[in-house]
Amino acid sequence: MAILKIETLGAEVLRRRAHEIQPSGEDPELDRLIEDMFETMYDAHGIGLAAPQVGISRRLIVVHVNEEGEEPFALLNPRIVEAGKAKEKGEEGCLSIPNISAAVERPATVVVEGLDPKGNEVRIEAEGMLARCLQHEIDHLDGILFLDRLSPLKRNMLVKKYRKQES
């Protein structure tokens, strides 16, 4: 296993729409990538990580929202098939934008479909932190960052704050 380099704000790969990924049943390369993504996520104390964040423009995410007793899982080609009408605000950060966080409004519940690493269909009915995390990670696959979900004023303020700490 290996800890991968996490791409940060400004990296072009974070702004690209990632390509679909084909599970092949047995794929040692995919298995190793998933292991490395988990290790990278745990090392950075994150609860989710999308492949573009480690420089790989593929539709793959790993998630471990342990506060709700959820098991860790990897999801290929995840998509939101239903979003609840009720919205909820919650604090979010991102491993690609270190030390910056903000309250983001999102649907409180979502239904997500995708494939597990073996290619089996998966359907997840999520609420709370899991729903938020899934939406945040799926956004990454479309080149969207949580900053984009904020008002322009708030976003500019946070980008300035981020640039300041980076310099």
133 binds Ni ion (CB under 5 A): no
Choose the stretch contacting Ni ion; rule: CB under 5 A; options: 11-19, 92-100, 106-114, 151-159.
Answer: 92-100
Residue with the CB atom nearest Ni ion in the bound state: 94
Helix (H, G, I), strand (E, B) or coil at 158: helix
One residue of 74, 94, 126, 131 binding Ni ion per CB under 5 A: 94
Within 10 angstroms of residue 165's Cβ, the number of other Cβ atoms is 10
Q: Tell me the closest approach of the beta carbon of residue 121 to Ni ion, in angstroms.
A: 25
Handedness of CA 12, 140, 35, 45 (dihedral sign): positive
Residue numbers 53-72 binding Ni ion by CB under 5 A = none
Is residue 113 annotated as part of the catalytic site, yes or no?
Answer: no
36 φ/ψ angles, rounded to the nearest 5 degrees: -65, -40
Closer CB to Ni ion, 34 or 94, in the complex? 94
Closer CB to Ni ion, 23 or 73, in the complex? 73
Q: State the Cα–Cα distance between residues 48 and 32, nearest whole angstrom.
A: 17
Alpha helix positions (H), the chain = 28-43, 128-141, 152-166
Q: Pick the catalytic residue from 20, 35, 82, 137.
A: 137
Closer CB to Ni ion, 4 or 94, in the complex? 94
CA contacts within 13 A on the Cβ side of 135: 29
Choose the stretch contacting Ni ion; rule: CB under 5 A; options: 10-18, 56-64, 93-101, 110-118.
Answer: 93-101
Closer CB to Ni ion, 41 or 115, in the complex? 41
Q: Tell me the closest approach of the beta carbon of residue 94 to Ni ion, in angstroms.
A: 3
Q: State the Cα–Cα distance between residues 122 and 139, nearest whole angstrom.
A: 19
What is the maximum alpha-carbon separation in the chain? 47
List contacts with Ni ion (CB under 5 A). Answer: 94
- Tell me the catalytic residues: 137
